[in-house]
């Protein structure tokens, strides 16, 4: 049974996009980046995924430099290769090209000793869709609050 530890989530992605499918991908990192990620020094806020020469890269992911890494630290905003099966990459590339969808990293976690990235196939939301999502969340919160207060009596 694998051991999971969530490092970072991209909450903004769920606000700005409809998530259609999610995939798990490995990520190509150097040693000091792994140490920094284990410390939780990672930001996914404005990141996205892009295809280049048939390979998938995550762009805009900020991994803070490791304090004790000195000369071994890399650029915090560099492009990092995502590792997936070739057939999954072909399928994703086709869906992006045909349907105009976007690949967004929605989370980073440790699975046993490996760093994994959760990548979601997304469709952009319009402004009125975002308002509907906020309204539904507020209604759910109010219902939970009412149920909780009624249990206390």
CA 23/CA 142 separation, integer angstroms:
33
pLDDT at 152: 67
Residue range 58-113, pLDDT digits in tens: 999 998 888 887 777 778 888 999 999 999 999 999 988 888 889 999 999 999 88
- Pick the more confident residue, 11 or 2: 11
Instruction: Name the pTM for this structure.
Output: 0.79
Asked if 121 and 97 count as a contact pair (C-beta separation under 8 A), the reply is no
Tell me which architecture the domain covering 4-125 has in CATH: Beta Barrel (2.40)
Asked if 89 and 56 count as a contact pair (C-beta separation under 8 A), the reply is yes
CA 82/CA 112 separation, integer angstroms:
18
pLDDT at 142: 92
Asked if 55 and 74 count as a contact pair (C-beta separation under 8 A), the reply is no
Asked if 119 and 96 count as a contact pair (C-beta separation under 8 A), the reply is no
Q: How many CB atoms lie within 10 A of CB 56?
A: 21
DSSP at 60: S
């Amino acid at each position: 049974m694998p051991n999971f530890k969530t490092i970072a989530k991209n909450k903004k992605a769920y606000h700005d996009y409809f998530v259609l499918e999610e995939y798990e991908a490995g990520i190509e990192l150097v040693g000091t980046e792994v140490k920094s990620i284990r410390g939780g020094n990672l930001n996914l806020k404005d990141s996205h995924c892009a295809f280049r020469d048939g390979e998938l890269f995550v762009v805009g992911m900020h991994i803070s430099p490791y304090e004790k890494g000195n000369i071994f630290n890399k650029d915090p905003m560099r492009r990092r290769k995502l590792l997936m099966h070739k057939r999954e990459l072909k399928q994703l590339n086709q869906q992006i090209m045909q349907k105009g969808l976007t690949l967004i990293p929605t989370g980073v976690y440790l699975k046993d000793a490996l760093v994994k990235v959760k990548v979601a196939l997304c469709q952009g939301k319009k402004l009125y869709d975002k308002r509907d999502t906020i309204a539904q969340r507020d209604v759910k919160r109010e219902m939970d609050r009412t149920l909780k207060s009624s249990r206390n009596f």
